[in-house]
Amino acid sequence: MNLYILRHASAGTRRKNPLLDVKRPLDKEGKQQCMLVAAYLNALNVQFDLIASSPLKRALQTASLVGTEVGYDQKIQVTDALSPEASVAKFQEFIAGLEKYENVLLVGHNPNLPQFLGSLFASQARVNVRLRKGAIARVDCTRRPGTLNWLVDPRILRGVYTRVTKRSLRKTSLK
């Protein structure tokens, strides 16, 4: 099973009131980050068997935008195992039920998403992984511990995208 771990895209500044923060939507930059991630996944020909998300609005929007762009037409599974308050044990329990799927996209939050990611490929040691907003990682969980295949930051995707689309014609000499 390949797990794709995606931190929700940019959603502006955090609200002091937790009831309002739960409903915080993606901002313009966050929507652009979703499109970049989806374009990257499409370039890799990734098709998801399941997309699961935290119940918070910004995570659901991220999952929905990326899912739509990659052609995912099923319902997004909402789970508290990806919410900001979830524990590593709850996350591991949720992952154990996903063995029948080949490619799974999980959308969650800091500070626990990097801990969840580290728990997939490090058996005992605590691993510190930095996930910026809109960052995505692929972990091969065929065997335990899993193998981190790649981790891509949206800033890298933006740089590659602008470099590729800037000039599509080959440079030729004027001589």
Does the residue 32 lie in any domain? yes
Choose between 164 and 78: higher pLDDT: 78
What is the Cα–Cα distance from 153 to 134, expressed in whole angstroms? 7
70-87 in b/e burial notation, b at 16+ Cβ within 10 A? bebeeebeebebbbbebe
Is residue 172 a part of any domain in this protein? no
Q: What is the pLDDT of residues 64-98, one digit of tens each?
A: 999 999 999 999 999 999 999 999 999 999 999 99
DSSP 112: H
Q: Using CA atoms in the order 76, 24, 33, 98, what is the torsion angle rounded to 10 degrees? A: -30
Residue 124 lies in a domain: yes
Q: In the numeric block, which tokens belong to residue 75? A: 């319902």
User: Is 134 or 125 the better-scoring residue by pLDDT?
Assistant: 134
Residue 173: inside a domain, yes or no? no
| 0.85 exceeded by pTM | yes
| In a domain? residue 137 | yes
Question: Helix, strand or coil for residue 53?
Answer: strand
Asked if residue 170 belongs to a domain, the reply is: no
Residue 175 included in any domain: no
Number of domains, the chain: 1
pLDDT tens digits, one per residue of 33-76: 999 999 999 999 999 999 999 999 999 999 999 999 999 999 99
Domain that includes residue 13, residue range: 2-165
Domain assignment present for residue 174? The answer is no
Strands 103-108 and 77-78, by their bridges, are unpaired
CATH number of the domain encompassing residue 161: 3.40.50.1240
